[in-house]
Amino acid sequence: MAFSTTISSSYLPGLYSAHDAVAEMKPRVCLSNAPSVVQRGLTYKAGFPSHLEKKELYNFKVSASVTEDVSTLEVSVKDLIVKGDTWSIHKFGGTCVGTAQRIQNVANIVMDDISERKLVVVSAMSKVTDMMYDLVEKAQSQDDSYISALDAVYEKHKLTALDLLDGDELNSFLSTLGRDVTDLKEMLRAMYIAGHPMESFSAFVVGHGELWSAQMLSYVLRKGGIDCTWMDTREVLIVNPAGSNQVDPDYEESETRLDGWLLKNPAKVVVATGFIASTPQNIPTTLKRDGSDFSAAILGALFRARQVTIWTDVDGVYSADPRKVTDAVVLNTLSYQEAWEMSYFGANVLHPRTIIPVMQYDIPIVIRNIFNLSAPGTKICRKPVIESEEKQKLETCVKGFATIDNLALVNVEGTGMAGVPGTASDIFATLKDVGANVIMISQASSEHSVCFAVPEKEANTVAKALEAKFQQALSAGRLSQVAVIPNCSILAAVGQKMASTPGVSTTLFSALAKANINVRAIAQGCSEYNITLVVKRKDCVRALRAVHSRFYLSKISIAVGIIGPGLIGATLLNQLRDQTAVLKEKSNTDLRVMGIIGSTTMLLSDTGIDLSKWKEHHQEKGEKADLEKFVQHVHGNHFIPNTVLVDCTSSTEVADHYHNWLHHGIHVITPNKKANSGPLDKYLKLFSLQRQSFTHYFYEATVGAGLPIMHTLRDLLQTGDTIIKIEGILSGTLSYIFNSFVDTRAFSEVVVEAKAAGYTEPDPRDDLAGTDVARKMIILARECGLNLELSDIPVQSLVPDPLKETASVDDFMQQLPSFDADIAAERKAAEDAGEVLRYVGVVDVKNQKGAVELRRYNKQHPFAQLSGSDNIIAFTTERYNKHPLIVRGPGAGAEVTAGGVFSDLLRLASNLGAPSY
């Protein structure tokens, strides 16, 4: 007859020195005469080897199936140790337990966790580990102040305990704290006398911060009614030194010791010390700086836990350092490999080795913010299987970006390296001998050079060692040089399947090129998890923002400098003021005006000028104008990757700076005609640079203000059309004058009217001379490929010769009526022929010449149909031969000119990656 029986209990006996005993301890539980056990409901007690101290006897739960032929049942104690997904691991850093209130918050989080069993790993209170290292430093330096420094540590923990605890718990903790501090004083005194610490002594001292915070938290939890104990992880975690700043866990020995500890301490909530451990010889040691995360991961693996939660002061893992990239986003998930790569490259994610222990058992790590419990955090786990090709396409293959600063590139090159076995081996053996930390390696397939990145402080030592190693090869010319390139940074793009996803590298390098960032070296592992770039340190943040913007569709940020807040500049600033919020929302474009400069005053801002009050601030807070300082300020803000200077002046001096600005990666937008119509050699040099770089130069408003004249001409040329002739009325002032110069009206009367209406320059002769129209025609001619100087275009001036040298504008205006008769006669002759007078510019592309002059057109001609100050231009091409392509509309005025400049700003943003609408 078969039957089953269950004897209930919750606990096992406590054990003394369990980790020494477990290996040889194999207790047995014997059930004799099983049927009588069931009938009488007896309670049996466990028998343990006599060399173990037995504190109490507990009932325990045994499930067994027994047959008539079975007289005994043996149950291994190890089988009764509970591990697995009933355990959840929580790790709280120093900031989380930095004050009494924060320790209480931690206790509340632990109590709110519904997991059946919980292990809580804690760091020392905020700054305490630094204080403990400082104690050791002071003692070994024979600085008596270590005593008062230790007293400060004691007071910090005493005051915290007084806020948190009371009664027996408080007395017990303060008693322990007092004994520990007394012991520490004796040890530090020994260090003081010896003048140097042993590694184990130092580790023993600095680990006390974790001991005290673990004990305080366990007392707080017990005070809240939680069945809790605390673990000194030096009794459990065994590690072997693996270098000056690294240890390797001994998982087998640690698991054995953990089993023994759990037999001795069967509570369902355990508060464990982070950071500290022991060597196999039971000598105290640490997991090195930031090792508490590592502790939690190791314990998570030993417990086979369901999840490890790392509590910190940020909402999760960001796509980039949020201190450098304001638009960085919190990532929902990361694979183990992605988190590993990001932590290696300096991202504030985890201790670089934290991921290793949990990967073996597929235990997820969750990064959460203790100060924002509503944030779900970032989950780090094995990459979920992509169910469909469509989902794979939608998934972002680049997860994040990280940087490492203060590096130097060391380049070993020479033709004698190619095909010579052992050169690379000798290089890196030399690096090992000097203890250099190699961050990145890049080698050309030609084997002509090998370059690698090392911390800048190690670069000279590395270079000298390599020069000594390869002295003979350098002398013989087989190696040409060992060069050090200082002031470098690494930018790493991290994500799964980057190498196999088309377009990732193109997008990455395109973003850098458009931000005018030069890449010094590149490395990409076949693992597909990262692409590593070396850039100049001064460009690092700008590079980070540029690539992050392209992959995460964050705001396309452009630092804008406005030169010339006159009529056009002021109108543009007001247009920007009205549209900034709309642009941010609809096209992810952040046009940030960082500076405004006039002829005497400039206004600078580090974060962006408030455009609703720019005039007042320019007057009240402005400083003396300095164009060089202005440009340096606008472009020197590394937190914005792109810079554009908008020249709203008509200054030749300002235009002469365009080439230098473009050369330094600054985009230029302008309605100023002086650069494009100036000396031909300067023009050709400027456009040669612009076409060879990724820096943009836009000048739509130089001809026709806001009319799409330059854009239309470029479209015709780029689509293969041939321009035969361009003819147009391109002066709003002269358009108004000749549209109004009808009937019996005097020419001088119309000029006075135009000046009063604001259509002319302050001196109307600047318009009547025709030079402005000539400049526009030169710009169009050069756009068509004609290498003409301004002097090559004959200009018919409407200023009477006797008045060209008149001293003042008033004198000119008073004397102008004396010359009305001549131009009135021309008008009458035209009217008698059924024609009108129009002042036009002409580019005869076919015959490579141009002219600016007064012409007659019949009244059915489009040029005769104009009104007001409108501009009109006719393109005669091979495609538009019988009927020229006409562009007509307002070609003057601050609003339309500023609108043309604004349109160029949006075109620049689109070229830099902003969506087009």
Catalytic annotation, residues: 776
What values do phi and psi take at 197, rounded to 5? -100, 155
Distance, CA of 817 to CA of 751 (rounded, Å): 10
Long-range contacts of 151-156, Cβ-Cβ distance < 8 Å, separation of 24 or more: 153/128, 153/181, 153/209, 154/178, 154/181, 156/125, 156/128
Distance, CA of 106 to CA of 111 (rounded, Å): 9
Distance, CA of 236 to CA of 687 (rounded, Å): 71
Token pair for residue 767? 């318009």
**Burial (CB count <10 Å: 0-12, 13-18, 19+), residue 341:** buried
In sign, the C-alpha dihedral spanning 731, 734, 739, 740 is positive
Beta bridge partners of 3: 66
CA 646 to chain centroid, in Å, comes to 27
Number of H helices, E strands in the chain: 33, 32
Contact 482, 659 (CB under 8 A): no
CA geometry: angle 43, 44, 45, nearest 5 deg: 125
Based on C-alpha coordinates, what's the Rg of the chain? 40
Those residues whose C-beta lies under 8 Å from the C-beta of residue 651, and which sit 6 or more positions away, are 564, 672, 674
Distance, CA of 208 to CA of 247 (rounded, Å): 19
The single-letter DSSP state of residue 214 is H
Contact 123, 152 (CB under 8 A): no
Exposure of 607 in the CB half-sphere (CA atoms within 13 A)? 2
Contact 596, 573 (CB under 8 A): yes
Torsion, Cα 592 597 598 601, to 10 degrees, reads 120
Distance, CA of 789 to CA of 791 (rounded, Å): 5
Distance, CA of 91 to CA of 311 (rounded, Å): 6
Long-range contacts of 852-857, Cβ-Cβ distance < 8 Å, separation of 24 or more: 852/770, 852/773, 852/774, 852/777, 852/793, 852/794, 852/795, 852/796, 853/794, 853/795, 853/796, 854/796, 854/798, 854/826, 856/830
Distance, CA of 110 to CA of 226 (rounded, Å): 10
Contact 11, 266 (CB under 8 A): yes
**Amino acid letter, residue 636:** G
Distances (CA, A) of 541 to 6, 191, 548, 588, 636: 66, 44, 10, 20, 11
Q: Which residue has the tokens 């472009």?
A: 635
Token pair for residue 132? 């403990």
Q: Look at residue 510 and give its three-state secondary structure.
A: helix
Distance, CA of 247 to CA of 255 (rounded, Å): 17
Distance, CA of 117 to CA of 676 (rounded, Å): 76
